[in-house]
Amino acid sequence: MPFIKYAVQGLLDGLREQVAEIRKYQLEIMWSNHVHEVFGNTKSPALIRRRNLVLDISKCSGPVRISQLREVSARTVEAYRNKTMMTVKRDVWAIQEAGLIVRSRQGILPNKSIIEAFLPDRLDFAKIKASVG
């Protein structure tokens, strides 16, 4: 019996990791789709630049300071090469008004919370574990 409990615990741990990875990928795909939907099928250079800025901020591991936005990716470096800091601030304001980013003291973060509600509920592994043993 102890071996079976050990094996089931290992299975649950593996499932927990897999579900977390799948949830992460679902969130990334849904977020990217949402951003593209908000900006639509635009040809405007400003809107394309803003859309790409949101997507590039989303790939960062933490908050991004406004002074660092130009270096978030090679794409943003190119997009803001001949732009002033005022353009960067205007773009940040516009995407914040669209609800795609949130600003804090630490910097700018993607507002992924607006789509997290659409993800399936998390599996309650504690209930599964309790029912097993």
The full set of domain ranges for the chain reads: 2-120
Q: Which pLDDT tens digits describe the chain residue by residue (133 residues)?
A: 888 889 989 998 998 899 889 888 989 999 999 999 999 999 999 999 999 999 999 999 999 999 999 999 999 999 999 999 999 999 999 999 999 999 999 999 999 998 877 766 665 555 555 665 5
CATH for 2-120 is 1.10.10.10
**In one letter, which amino acid is 2?**
P
